[in-house]
Amino acid sequence: MPSLVPPIKCQGIKTKLVPAIRALVGANITGRWIEPFCGSGVVAFNLRPERALLADTNQHIIAFYQAIQSGDLTPDRVARYLEEEGDSLRRQGESHYYTVRERFNATHDPLDFLFLNRACFNGVMRFNRRGAFNTPFCRKPERFAPAYITKIANQVRAVRQILQQRDWTFAVADFRETLSQTTKNDVVYADPPYMGRHADYFNTWSEASEQALIRLLKRLPCPFVLSTWQENEFRRNPAIEAHWTEEGLHLLSIEHFYHVGSSEDLRHGMTEALITNVPLPGAYVKPEKPRQYALEIA
């Protein structure tokens, strides 16, 4: 089954990690699937658990998916909106982008959020300290061509179908609050902002936050999977050796190309790490380093 691409784009989206996460926990979710950093929702939308708690501190992402879930935001409404705003963008150019950005920062309309998410520079979702969306225009007035609008509307349709068939809760919440709700039958997937990689897409992620998350994950009563960066051509993530080499924990390495960057020379290969307390299935092959595994994905 091809991966479902959600309508919201986030830097560092984990589409390429979905097969590995599914291999680890996809058939073992008897409680709720819980994500304290749901972002685009790509992992949940592809694993499709029956019950889920998807939380984030970015209220605009949560409001967008809540609007789809409630039926307020439909594929047809999305298509009509993007046709109208896309036509204005073609005629007026970047001035219309900034008109929509100013309007969104005043009203927080989910449709304006979708427009900005798809028309901003390099797909980088960025907010200032006052919580205002401040990413500049991508400089592509013809951005919303008919085929592109249809693609986005179909992504909304696919998400809507999933939400109509499942018991999912979307919540604006700090990761501490979200993780406090876990039970032994749940499965947690944590995809926090990466320390030392790039700025968070909504608010500040500090060393104190990182340490708090590490402590909470290790104390969970249920299985968890944490995604983080392992290494690139320049350096390794020191947090892995410092915090995640205990007995009973496993590290899976997955290499892919990292697309966030203003130009090609700033985009590099990246080895991502999945750290988990889940026993590893036979689909993994063990290299030389202890408790580190590389996934063979067909």
- Collapsing DSSP to helix, strand or coil, 295 comes out as strand
Q: Nearest-CA neighbor of 62 among 34, 33, 40, 32?
A: 40
Q: Write out the chain's pLDDT in tens, 298 residues.
A: 678 999 999 887 788 899 999 999 877 789 999 999 999 999 999 999 999 999 999 999 999 999 999 999 999 999 999 999 999 999 999 999 999 999 999 999 999 999 999 999 988 899 998 999 999 999 999 999 999 999 999 999 999 999 999 999 999 999 999 999 999 999 999 999 876 544 444 556 788 999 999 999 999 999 999 999 888 888 888 889 999 999 899 999 988 655 544 454 555 677 899 999 998 775 444 443 434 444 443 3
Q: Nearest-CA neighbor of 190 among 72, 62, 25, 78?
A: 25
Q: Nearest-CA neighbor of 80 among 115, 119, 122?
A: 115
Taking every pair of Cα atoms in the chain, the longest distance, rounded to a whole number of angstroms, is 61
Alpha carbon distances (Å) from 16 to 2, 46, 113, 143, 230: 11, 11, 25, 25, 15
- Collapsing DSSP to helix, strand or coil, 256 comes out as strand
Domains of the chain: 15-57+173-295 (3.40.50.150), 69-160 (1.10.1020.10)
Dist. CA 253–CA 244, nearest whole Å: 13
